[in-house]
Each structure stands twice: as C-alpha cells, then as structure tokens.
Chains A and B, each alone.
Chain A
Amino acid sequence: QSALTQPPSASGSPGQSVTISCTGTSSDVGAYDYVSWYQQHPGKAPKLIIYEVNERPSGVPDRFSGSKSGNTASLTVSGLQAEDEADYYCCSYARSNNYVFGTGTEVTVL
C-alpha cells in the first residue's frame, strides 16, 4: 500500500486560506468516506482535526474544513493563524483492512 500523496509545503499570510490536497486511489480515498486529517507540531503527537472527510471533533475551530472528490481529499484552513503553522497529514481507511497515511504537508504562516 503506497502512501497518499500530499504537497510537501503550503503557505499563506495570516487571515488567508490554504488548501492541502491528499491523493490516493480507488482502493483507499476513493473507496471510503473514512478520510481523517491530523495536525502535528514539532516534537508532539499528531492531533485529530477532521474525520469522516468533513467532520470536526469538539474543540477544533471551524476554520478547519475537509472535502473529497473521487480519489482526492482536501483540507482547507481558513483565516490562517500563527498557531496553524504545523505539519498536516491525511489518513484513509483502505481495502485489506488497513490504514494509509499521507506524505505530509508543512504549512508556513508568512
């Protein structure tokens, strides 16, 4: 199972929006609506910010939103804030009863 493809980096100024893509195949992203997104600050464990494509856990700001079309999922961070500077990873449930993560995207707030 190959990793999901994400752009290595993305950036935006405070208040702007940034969108990160996550491209998989018909065996993972395209097959299930079980796409989740994680935010990871340096030296910390990943934190769940989106599940089931577009659901937010309690406590996660509504500036974070998700979507999916075909084999590609996307995460949008609106109204960028300094604390949003982190690495972001997508994850999808996949056929053969396992999970595959994305390659990760480093978001910089300019």
Chain B
Amino acid sequence: QVQLQQWGAGLLKPSETLSLTCAVYGGSFTNYYWSWIRQTPGKGLEWIGEINHSGSTKYNPSLKSQVTISVDTSKNQFSLNLSSVSAADTGVYYCARCDYGDLHFDHWGQGTLVTVSS
C-alpha cells in the first residue's frame, strides 16, 4: 500500500520561501518520478515539477525561476522549495507519484494548504 505523507509551513509572508516535504511509504522509490502539484484559486491545478531517485529534475517553465525540488533517498523523501512567494502562490500543494511509463499521477499526498499573507 503506497502512501504519501506531506508536511510544511502553512502560513508565509510575501517574499518568503515555501518549504514542503513528502515522505513515501510502501512501494518502490526508485522506479518513479515524484511530483509537486498545486491547486490555486487563480490557476486551478498546476504541475510544479518532478524529481527521480537520482536527483534528475524537470520543472514547469513558468515556475522554473522560483522552484527547487530535492530528494533524500535514505529517507524516501522529496522536498519542494518555492522562493519569493506572493499572494498568487496561495493554495493547496500536493505531492504525487508519477508513473514514468504511462505518465500519470497514481498516488497523491493529503495536500497542504499554504497561505501567503502579510
């Protein structure tokens, strides 16, 4: 049974850095890409980026300048840093497993509500 459990700060001020971590329990960590996806009032669901076990990353071109995704294979965890946040970054952030062969998101974390407010 694959489970993704995520955590991180839920309230940020403008210009701060959003940091979230997702732990993977069950299943293989090496055979998938691990993604971050957000759901904001302004843009709906939006893919942020992904990483594999060896640290290879891909980012959404529209967010690339703000995003860093990293991995800790010793703990089966991956993390998201989003710098210089603004109110437009307010929303629910999800971690998800991406099946690299079929390119879909088959397991999701519970979501973390992040609010950016001064």
Contact = CB atoms under 8 A, between A and B. Distances in A.
A110 B61 CA distance: 41
Interface string B36-75: 0100000111110000000000111110000000000000
B44 A36 contact: no
- Chain B binding surface SS class: strand
A91 B105 contact: yes
Nearest to A3: B44
B34 interface: no
Interface residues of B, number: 22
A1 interface: yes
B94 A45 contact: yes
15 contacts: A1-B62, A3-B44, A36-B103, A45-B108, A51-B99, A51-B102, A51-B104, A52-B104, A96-B61, A98-B47, A98-B59, A98-B60, A99-B47, A99-B103, A101-B47
